[in-house]
Structure formats: C-alpha cells, structure tokens
Amino acid sequence: MAPTKDGEPPLHILFFPFLLPGHLIPMADMAVLFAARGVRCTVLTTPVQASTIRSVVDRANGSSYSSSAAGTPMSISVVPFPDVGLPMAAQSGRDLATSRDYHDRFLQTVELLREPFCRFLSDHHADIDAVVSDSLFHWSAHAAAEHGLPRIAFLATSMFARACTDTVLRSNVFESCSDDHGAVVSLPGLPHRVEQRRSQMMDPAKRPHEWAMFQLIHAADRSSYGELFNSFRVLEPGYAEHYRATQLRRRAWLVGPVALASGSLEDVASRGAVAGALSPDAAVCLRWLDAKQASSVVYVSFGTMTNFSPEQMRELARGLDLSGKNFVWVIAKGSTAASSDPSTPDGFPTANRGYIVRGWAPQVLILNHPAVGGFVTHCGWNSTLEAVSAGVPMVTWPRYADQFYNEKLVVEVLGVGVGVGAEDYASCLETHRVIAGEAIAESIRRVMGEEGDGAAMRKEAKELGVMARGAVEKGGSSYDDVGQLMEELIARRSSVGCT
C-alpha cells in the first residue's frame, strides 16, 4: 500500500505509552508494526523505559522494512522521569507489587507526565498526524484535541474485557445484585452471555477511587478518534462488530498480535529485558528446556505486577509437585516469593523436574519452545495473547483489572484454558483466598493430560496460534486493519488540509 500521495511526507504517529512493562512493550511493538508499513513513528517516554525498548527500535530502523526506502525511521523522544522520589531501580515498574510506597509513587507519574506531553505537542503538533496514547493518560484526549490532533486510545487489554467493562460502566449491573460473596452479575448486550461473580469484579462500593478513575478513562476514550487493540478478529468473535456497529458505534482497529509482526522470536523476547539483552540465565533455561520431551513442561509466570503470600507460594510449589509435570517457574526479583524459599516444602523441587527463573524470563521464547505444553498465567492480556500466539493452552489464575474477563474469554468463549478457581478480585498489593495445591495440580493435569478435555483444548490452542500468525500476515485481518487506519489518517490529513 502506498502510504501517501506522491511527494507527501509519510504519516507521522506519536506513541505515548504508560511506563509499566505490560503497557510499554505492546505499544513499542505496535510502533514497530506501523513503521514496517511506512509510517514515521516517535515514541515519547522516560529514560529507563527508553533503554528497555531501544533494542527493538534500533533493530526496526536497521532492518530493510522501516528505514531505507520509505525514509521513515522510528525514534524515541526522552523526557525526564517525573520527580516522585523513586530510585532508578524502581523506575522500570517491576517492583510495584512489593511496595505500596513504590506503587503509589509510580502511579503519580500518570498525572505528572501531562506537562512534558503537552509541551511536546505544542512544539511538534504541526508535524504529527495522530497520537496513540495509553488510555490511562485520560487527559491526553483534551491535549490532543487542543491541537486538532486525533487521539487514538490503547489500553493493552482484550476487546472482550473492554466491552465487558464498558457494559458495567454504562448499565447499573450492581443495583439488582446482592453483595454476597457468591452473587452473580449478568452483563447485558454483549455478543455472548457473560455472567461474573461480583467478588471477581471491580466493585464501586469497595473501590470508589479506582471506579472514578475508570470512568474518567472511559469517558476520554469515548470522546477520542478511536481505539487500537492488540488482538485479532477471530480471537474475539463478534466483538469488532459490537464495537463498531451494533452497540457502541466506535472506531476500533484490531492490529495484533503486535509481537508477531515485530521481528524474530529472539527480537521479541529481548524487548522488555533490561538494556534489551537476554541474561545468561535465560540461555541456561532454554537449554534446560531443550532436554525435555515435547509438551512436557508447564510454564508458570504471573507477569510483572502480581505478588503472592508465602502461604500461597508454598501451595503453588506443592501443586507443581503434585501435578507430576516438569515446570519452569518465574519468580520476579524483589517479590515476596523471591524472598521466601520455594524449595522448602518437602521434596520440592523434584530433581531435574523444575527450573526456577529469578528475574526476567524470555517469556515469548519459552512459550514457543516445543517442550512447553501449558501455561499457568494471571491472564494479563499480553501473556494471554503470547500463549494464544504460541498455541499453548492455559491454566487461568486471574487477580484483578481485566484479568477475570480475559479468563472468561479463554475458558468459556475460546475453550483453550481451565480456571484454577480464583474467586476474589485483589490488587497486586492485597492478599487473596489461598488456592490449594491440589486444585492447582488438578488444573495443570487437565490442561496437559491425555484424558478428558485436554486434547481438545490443545488442538484448539494450536489452531488459534495458526490463526494469530495468519492475522498479521499480508491479507490477514490485522494487517488490513493497520492499512485501514492509515488510509483514514491520510484521508483526514487531506480533508484537514482543505479546510
């Protein structure tokens, strides 16, 4: 596709990610994807975040597709990390689950980045066609509008979760529902029948501040030009139509899985690693996997924002032991888990059956390793999509935010996972009801076993993986959605130029 009329400069999109890895990584991948289609992309971010995505950007610029012929390099514009008193080591946002102080200070950056963002827009707006902003920066809707720029929102979640949250915010779903622990809330007007336990939802009565923030975010996104999703059409059956036509009448583009479009697996795995380099530990882990039989290992990781109590860690260790499966278990540095020793339960880890990664794991490489046959996940959307892309079925263990909705999509709509039985919405700093080792082992055996529905789930997961790759290839639905958005922005440029 020719991006612009002859002689016109290419489209220029400003990407403005929130600073947490789960938001930063997919937005950087998304920028790479647009650069590959001839769009000039600038990522506006802070120093530690810039160093995390630098290797991805350099590789994109060095590769034949983004720079040379089209003359459309990617660049990073760096603004200082807001002065909230966070030590450099905590500025990556990977230790937030371990300290309320870090967590609260980090969240202050949402508001404090307003000033540098507005200054950047004042200086450069004439040279920019659109802003892709993280939804958390709700104020960027107003700032972009002031300069006549279309703001496109990105919340790093599924369209399914987004549609569920939208329904909850617009309909009074809690009014007719008791607040008993087991009470079930029905979400009306969605393409699927969706019912959720009240205890698994963000409850306005219990979390008024978070609720108010969500209302602000959704209002800003509704007033924006449109929304981008790191997803693909067949993964969320009926939701693109729901979004665009039937219910919400909003512009939306599904352009993912963005990680699949951004280079080799090695490239993808190294983004997010500090300084863009895989640690020697990561290589050892991959060699360990090389020695295992196909589909014999369960990968256990809960993203960057989940912390478990020592009691839950012991049950998880017991569950892995009882499952009888090989495992790779990622324990984030600085987490409660890292300070409590998971080898304490009797007989754990069983010799040669388990590998523990302390720190940052090359998740995408692990999920795509032939030895991996299942993934115990918190259902963060990036992890979910990475499992889908790799064709790996999941044991779902959601905690908060969009995770319970993502679980519903995985288990009930797509049939590629088994829930471990998480029932309570509990943010990264809160404790939740402990899940017993037996329940964990049972879910792992169901997903990875030969009996029951495991085989069907694995087949379905493999087929979804093939469809994910097809979506980002030329002629695929996500490839087409990228082209569609570019065409709309070019048309808009012409119409704005004419007025």
Q: At its nearest, how many Å lie between ligand UDP and the CB of residue 327? A: 15
Q: At its nearest, how many Å lie between ligand UDP and the CB of residue 243? A: 21
Q: At its nearest, how many Å lie between ligand UDP and the CB of residue 403? A: 8
**Nearest position to ligand UDP, beta carbon:** 22
Q: At its nearest, how many Å lie between ligand UDP and the CB of residue 391? A: 16
Select 461 or 489, whichever has its Cβ closest to ligand UDP.
461
HEC string of the chain?
CCCCCCCCCCCEEEEECCCCHHHHHHHHHHHHHHHHCCCEEEEEECHHHHHHHHHHHHHHHHCCCCCCCCCCCEEEEECCCCCCCCCHHHCCCCCHHHCHHHHHHHHHHHHHCHHHHHHHHHHHHHHCCEEEEECCCCCHHHHHHHCCCCEEEECCCCHHHHHHHHHHHHCCCCCCCCCCCCCEEEECCCCCCEEEEHHHCCCCCCCHHHHHHHHHHHHHHHCCCEEEECCCHHHCCCHHHHHHHHCCCCCEEECCCHHHHCCCHHHHHHCCCHHHCCCHHHHHHHHHHHCCCCCCEEEEECCCCCCCCHHHHHHHHHHHHHHCCEEEEEECCCCHHHHCCCCCCCCCCCCCCEEEEECCCCHHHHHCCCCEEEEEECCCHHHHHHHHHHCCCEEECCCCCCHHHHHHHHHHHCCCEEECCCCCCCCCCCCCCCCCHHHHHHHHHHHHCCCCCHHHHHHHHHHHHHHHHHHHCCCCHHHHHHHHHHHHHHHHHHHHHHC
Catalytic residues: 23, 134
Q: At its nearest, how many Å lie between ligand UDP and the CB of residue 381? A: 5
Select 33 or 248, whichever has its Cβ closest to ligand UDP.
33
What residues line the site for ligand UDP (CB under 6 A)?
21-22, 25, 272, 301, 303-305, 330, 360-361, 363-364, 380-383, 386
Q: At its nearest, how many Å lie between ligand UDP and the CB of residue 102? A: 15
